[in-house]
A and B are shown apart, each in its own frame.
Chain A
């Protein structure tokens, strides 16, 4: 019997997505250490990475980074398949859907800050919708909507500004099409 080897070709795209996802996961893990006054209220720093990827490489890459971040991030902090994981997944899917539409806004008038705020609202929208349907089947969850909406607005604006700044700097850096490094690092 000859041991069969399955080799999956790894493209430069894969490396790039994996690296951005790694950065997003690192931010997710760092953020998990921050104390939060209420479950669900957190800065969502990983979304900065998603916004940068969206602007530089398009929606497909952003979706990969966002979903990899949710799955791998929850594995790292021990939340995989816990309620928090499904809330994060629901939020990420909703915000990706909104970003798919938001990227068609005229870039002359709407920058990363708009995308970030819209995505942040979609994020809490998705989470609250799932919480209402599944975790707390009672209209009482809507009592928290104003708080969540306020944090979404504040952190959405801040994350958007950070992403806008990173993107403004990146204008003079060409879109990287790096050669895949030899061997896994």
Chain B
């Protein structure tokens, strides 16, 4: 069995087992350090670059499927929409939006609380009003809604 191992590799492993612990740092050359540092920078930069895509930058309010208004998510404000059975009050704060009050009997869209991700949606069905967040670039438009 021993003889079926590669000659070079067998010797290598035999030596590795007996050679004791070398200083790991001697195995790295100057360029290796440079490349590792560059790679670490790139990896660190990839997190904010690629994980920002899910953030929303505007809220879209619709009544009966028709867009009533688009609110930018950078200023705090409130907006009232009159729907089929009353008035739905929507609140926008930097980076998030919610339905504050709604005349619907079960209050589902109010209880959903703050929406923060792009394509998140709160539907006040009895009042025919929806609040949806949209991200930059309008990606993921093939989906009606996404849940997190």
Contacts and interface: CB of A to CB of B under 8 A. Distances in A.
A106 B15 CA distance: 27
Interface of B: 3-9, 11-13, 15-16, 19, 22, 24, 26-32, 34-36, 39-40, 42-43, 46-47, 50-51, 53, 139
A117 B51 contact: no
A111 B8 CA distance: 20
B110 to A, nearest CB: 30
A149 B11 CA distance: 34
B27 to A, nearest CB: 4
A52 interface: yes
B9 A20 contact: yes
Interface of A: 16, 19-20, 22-23, 49, 52, 56, 105-106, 108-114, 117-118, 121, 139, 142-143, 145-146, 149-150, 153, 156-157, 160-161, 164-166, 168-170, 173, 175-176, 178, 181, 185
The binding surface of chain B is classed by DSSP as helix
A161 to B, nearest CB: 6
A185 B3 contact: yes
Contacts of B47: 146
A181 B6 CA distance: 11
B51 A146 contact: yes
A32 to B, nearest CB: 21
24 contacts: A19-B5, A23-B6, A56-B8, A109-B34, A110-B35, A111-B29, A111-B31, A113-B27, A113-B32, A114-B32, A114-B35, A146-B46, A149-B46, A153-B36, A153-B43, A157-B36, A161-B24, A165-B16, A165-B24, A166-B12, A166-B13, A166-B16, A170-B15, A181-B3
Contacts of B30: 109
Contacts of B40: 153
B19 A169 contact: yes
Contact of B27 (A56, A111, A145): A111
Q: Which of A22, A108, A164 has the most CB of B within 10 A?
A: A164
A169 B15 contact: yes
Contacts of B51: 143, 146
A118 B38 CA distance: 11
Closest 7 pairs (CB-CB, A-B): A109-B31, A19-B6, A164-B27, A110-B31, A176-B8, A176-B7, A113-B32
A175 B6 CA distance: 12
A105 B16 contact: no
Contacts of B5: 19, 23
A52 B12 contact: yes
